[in-house]
Amino acid sequence: MSSPQSSNGNGHDETHGGRQRLPVDRESITHRFTVGESKGYVTVGFYPDGRPGEVFFRMAKTGSTISGLLDTLAIAVSIGLQHGIPLAAFVDKFTRTRFEPDGFSGPEFKFATSIVDYLFRWMGARFCGLPEHGNETNMLAGK
């Protein structure tokens, strides 16, 4: 009988429905961002073939409600990626989410309708080939 963390040799965990865990040592990238007055970091860890396999979202102001929610979202997205859900599916669902904090976000996107919007637009541009500059006028108008 396999233990909860055993692997069948191809990186797929036998007891968690095909979850492909990342290697212990892996490449990653960390990106600093600002949305309005809020600052934070997104770190993406990669499989050896270069696919994103985990994400971490960290706000500069720890202990806030938004920080806790972003930690939870990052765990959910990471588990989804490890079960084979494409990052593009998350990008499609989480871009253009609208809640505070929102605001100007620098040269990448000019304006983000939420921190979640910024994070998934950045990942979409960086890893899914989506354009960095969306139609900012429509974003501000809510279209």
**What pLDDT is recorded for position 117?**
98
Angle between helices 87-94 and 65-82 (to 10 degrees): 150
DSSP code at position 51: -
pTM: 0.81
- How far apart, in whole angstroms, are the C-alpha atoms of residue 107 and residue 133? 9
- Examine the pLDDT at 63 and tell me if it is beyond 70: yes
Contact 88, 20 (CB under 8 A): no
CA 97 vs. chain centroid, Å, equals 14
DSSP run (H or E) holding 119: helix 115-127
Query: Residue 89: CA atoms inside 13 Å, Cβ hemisphere, count?
Result: 9
Tally the C-alpha atoms within 13 A of residue 124's C-alpha that lie toward its C-beta.
22
Give the pLDDT score at 41: 97
Q: What is the pLDDT of residues 2-52, one digit of tens each?
A: 344 444 444 544 445 699 999 999 999 999 999 999 999 999 999 999 999
DSSP-assigned letter for residue 113? S
User: Where exactly are the structural domains of the chain?
Assistant: 23-141
Q: Retrieve residue 5's tokens.
A: 């963390």
Q: For position 17, what pLDDT does the model report?
A: 67
